[in-house]
């Protein structure tokens, strides 16, 4: 079963997931997609009660919506079952609410990152109501990692679907290898954007602060609607504990939505293959 024209929204009866559904509704109306809510329970016996509770809550909080969401309740684990379902039904986008409470960003970012890891569909992580009807200005942070190049196809999808203008914000460093990697990524992405007619601007970070902090500040400065980033390839336990850079952006204190794209697993013998829609 495939739902390539479906937006999947995680649901756990918190206010943050109401925000996620609001974001999904805005996108679904524009690109004529369906919406499904996914809720995970521990036991099969809990499914029927959860379905009714979700149905009642959505009916109460979203009385006059144009896009009526389907409800999917599965027994499993939130860290594996959500992604497994998204991949199985080939969901176009997954929208997830998360908490970015001050002082807790690292741990909450890690939680969100653990759910996202491995998905073939992009995850949009939100913390607040939509500030605009659609994402029109999206910041793409670029550093030296080769997998940054894999953002191109999904950037093209968002450009075609929502008329997005991208703001490529690249890291600054004095290390020669770092600079070479950043320049290679910028050249690759800008050539692709030029070929596809994708609107974009480029700006360098100052290098005076941690890059993830500069990314959030820059997005706020230009009144950007979202940040689109590539997650760490083959992320492991140490990344969750010690802090993969993206987890700080995901749980940013400005509550900016973050579009997370997972790179494909590394191939033996090298070679690049971009993921996307």
In the predicted structure, residue 114 carries a pLDDT above the cut 80: no
Distances (CA, A) of 54 to 40, 61, 126, 158: 12, 11, 20, 30
Q: pLDDT tens-digit profile of 219-268?
A: 999 999 999 999 876 555 444 433 457 778 888 989 999 999 988 876 64
Q: pLDDT tens-digit profile of 92-110?
A: 999 999 865 444 444 444 5
Chain centroid offset of residue 250 CA: 8
Among the listed residues 162, 163, 180, the one whose alpha carbon sits nearest the alpha carbon of residue 171 = 180
What is the model's pLDDT at position 86?
Answer: 93
* Averaged pLDDT of the chain: 85
Model pTM score:
0.88
- Sorted by sequence, the CB contacts under 8 Å of residue 247 that are 6+ apart come out as 105, 106, 109, 110, 112, 113, 240
In the predicted structure, residue 130 carries a pLDDT above the cut 90: yes
CA–CA gap between residue 46 and residue 40 (Å, rounded)? 10
CA atoms within 13 A on the CB side of 179: 5
Name which of 63-67, 70-74, 159-163, 213-217 the model is least confident about. Answer: 63-67
Q: pLDDT tens-digit profile of 146-187?
A: 989 999 999 999 999 999 999 999 999 888 889 999 999 999
Yes or no: is domain 137-261 CATH 1.10.357.10? no
Domain boundaries, the chain: 6-97, 137-261
What average pLDDT does range 210-225 have in this prediction?
96
Fold (CATH) for 6-97: Rossmann fold (3.40.50)
């Amino acid at each position: 079963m495939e739902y390539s024209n479906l937006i999947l929204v995680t649901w756990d009866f918190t206010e943050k997931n109401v925000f996620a559904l609001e974001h999904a509704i805005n996108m679904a109306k524009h690109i004529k997609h369906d919406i499904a809510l996914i809720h995970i329970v521990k036991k099969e016996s809990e499914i029927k009660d959860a379905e009714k509770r979700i149905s009642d809550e959505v009916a109460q909080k979203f009385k006059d919506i144009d896009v009526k969401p389907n409800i999917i309740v599965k027994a499993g684990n939130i860290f594996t079952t959500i992604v497994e379902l998204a991949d199985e039904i080939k969901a176009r986008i997954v929208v997830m609410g998360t908490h970015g409470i001050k002082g807790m960003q690292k741990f909450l970012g890690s939680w969100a990152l653990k759910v996202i890891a491995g998905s073939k569909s992009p995850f949009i992580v939100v913390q607040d109501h939509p500030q605009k009807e659609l994402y029109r200005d999206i910041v793409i942070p670029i550093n030296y990692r080769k997998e940054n190049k894999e953002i191109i196809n999904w950037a093209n999808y968002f450009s075609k679907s929502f008329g997005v203008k991208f703001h490529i914000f690249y890291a600054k460093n004095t290390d020669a290898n770092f600079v070479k990697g950043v320049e290679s990524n910028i050249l690759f992405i800008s050539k692709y954007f030029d070929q596809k007619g994708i609107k974009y601007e480029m700006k360098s970070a100052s290098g005076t602060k941690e890059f993830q902090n500069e990314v959030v500040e820059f997005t706020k400065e230009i009144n950007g609607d979202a940040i689109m980033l590539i997650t760490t390839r083959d992320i492991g336990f140490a990344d969750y504990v010690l802090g993969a850079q993206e987890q700080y952006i995901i749980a940013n204190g400005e509550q900016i939505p973050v579009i997370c794209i997972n790179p494909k697993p590394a191939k033996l013998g090298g070679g690049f293959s971009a993921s996307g829609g």
